[in-house]
Amino acid sequence: MRAADIQNDLTDVLVTEEQIREKLDEIAAQVAEDYAGKELLLVGVLKGAIMVMADFARALPMHAPMDWMAVSSYGASTKSSGVVQIRKDLDTPLAGKHVLIVEDIIDSGLTLSWLLENFESRGAASIEVFSLLRKPDAAKVEVPCKYVGFDIPNDFVVGYGLDYAERYRNLRDVAVLAPHVYN
């Protein structure tokens, strides 16, 4: 597939590679300050968070071990049901760790709210959330998210880790997927 064909699948670019890089530097500086002297553990949620984790971790001027969780929502609906199944659990025990969950996007908030509840019982010293993107108009539950990159409109977006049918994760920017792709 040619690059021009991929461009035809997208409408607006909402966040550029450059804007992401600047924002990650800003948030990394804040996190380094907030977690100075603490044992930080970054927890990424596969697969959407791979790009943001890779760039964010490299922007952090401190030790930042990573662990990964893979979850999926049950149900026939394309929308998040809030009923979550663990596909891959963490390798690391959370006891005593200052956990920062790294997410690509908060849409309904249901997945993250389930994850936070699940983590509460594992004895972490603290649990906070960093999400690169958030759709305030799509929220079904309030999720306490300490660090947010960009609030975006309630459109289906792809790129920078976010997929549609496993495609578009490798785009450098975050863009709105054109309706002709899924209609």
Residue 9 touches ligand 5GP, criterion: CB under 6 A: no
- Report the SS3 class of residue 66: strand
CB of 100 vs ligand 5GP, minimal distance in Å = 16
CB of 143 vs Mg ion, minimal distance in Å = 12
Q: Which is nearer to ligand 5GP, 27 or 111 (CB)?
A: 111
Q: Which is nearer to Mg ion, 23 or 134 (CB)?
A: 134
Q: Which is nearer to ligand 5GP, 55 or 107 (CB)?
A: 107
* Interacting residue with Mg ion among 48, 109, 149, 161 (CB under 5 A): 48
**Catalytic residue flag (residue 55):** no
Tell whether omega for the bond before 38 is within 30 degrees of 0, i.e. cis: no
148-154: list long-range contacts, CB under 8 Å, 24+ apart.
Answer: 149/15, 149/20, 149/23, 149/24, 149/27, 149/52, 150/14, 150/15, 150/19, 150/23, 150/174, 152/14, 152/15, 153/14
CB of 4 vs ligand 5GP, minimal distance in Å = 22
Burial class (CB in 10 A: 0-12, 13-18, 19+), 16: middle
Sole window of 31-39, 54-62, 138-146, 157-165 interacting with Mg ion (rule: CB under 5 A):
157-165
Enumerate residues 91-120 that contact Mg ion by CB under 5 A: 103-104
Q: CA of 54: how far to CAs of 66, 80, 138, in Å?
A: 10, 25, 27
Beta carbons of 98 and 38 less than 8 angstroms apart: yes
Which of the residues 9, 55, 104, 107 is marked catalytic? 107
* Interacting residue with ligand 5GP among 55, 68, 109, 115 (CB under 6 A): 109
* Interacting residue with ligand 5GP among 59, 102, 124, 162 (CB under 6 A): 162
